């Protein structure tokens, strides 16, 4: 609060605004907005419509089945497609048959790199739609057969 020092009015106040607290409050608000603004744009909550869908196998016209066994051997519809050079064996088989849709069944013990190698060959051979076959779980949490 500022005081006036003239003799005419001993008790009168000087009507000036002290801007120091105002600047402090504005800087704090600016920092709060700078910190919270990036958090507001990370995601949106969207309520998606519901639809009844079919499984991939039923929706497609007889997709090719590619199986990778625990030993790393690859089969296309039950026919061996080799295990060493998939680019020379599996890719021509897929191209000759004109496979655009495929189901991939890989053993749980197959290394991830082997599955990625098969996926890479399938992609370069022209497979456009891929379904990954898994084992559904039962009510007790164990895989169903």
The CATH number assigned to the domain holding 65 equals 3.30.420.270
The per-residue pLDDT for 32 is: 93
Would residue 1 count as lying in a domain? Answer: no
Instruction: Say what percent of the chain tops pLDDT 70.
Output: 68
For 52-96, the pLDDT digits (tens) are 555 554 445 678 888 888 888 888 888 888 777 888 888 888 888
The per-residue pLDDT for 100 is: 87
**Residue (of 92, 105, 91) closest to 63 by Cα position:** 105
Would residue 115 count as lying in a domain? Answer: yes
Instruction: Kindly state the tokens that stand for 24.
Output: 């402090």
Length of the chain: 145
If one counts the domains in the chain, the total is: 1
Would residue 111 count as lying in a domain? Answer: yes
Identify the domain containing residue 107 by its residue range. 56-132
E strand residue ranges, 51-114: 64-68, 74-76, 79-80, 101-106
Would residue 93 count as lying in a domain? Answer: yes
Would residue 110 count as lying in a domain? Answer: yes
Instruction: Kindly state the tokens that stand for 51.
Output: 């639809």
DSSP 37: H
The per-residue pLDDT for 98 is: 86
Would residue 38 count as lying in a domain? Answer: no
Q: Is the pTM of this model over 0.75?
A: no
Would residue 113 count as lying in a domain? Answer: yes
């Amino acid at each position: 609060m500022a005081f006036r020092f003239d003799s005419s009015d001993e008790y009168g106040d000087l009507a000036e605004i002290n801007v120091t607290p105002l600047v402090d409050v504005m800087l704090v608000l600016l920092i709060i907005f700078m910190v919270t603004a990036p958090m507001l744009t990370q995601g949106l909550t969207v309520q998606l419509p519901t639809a009844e869908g079919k499984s991939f196998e039923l929706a497609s016209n007889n997709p090719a089945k590619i199986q990778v066994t625990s030993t790393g051997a690859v089969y296309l519809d039950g026919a061996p497609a080799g295990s060493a050079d998939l680019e020379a064996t599996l890719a021509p088989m897929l191209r000759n048959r004109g496979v655009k849709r495929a189901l991939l069944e890989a053993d749980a013990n197959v290394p991830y790199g082997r599955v990625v190698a098969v996926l890479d060959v399938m992609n370069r051979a022209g497979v456009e739609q891929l379904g990954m076959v898994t084992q559904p779980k039962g009510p007790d949490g164990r895989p169903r057969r």
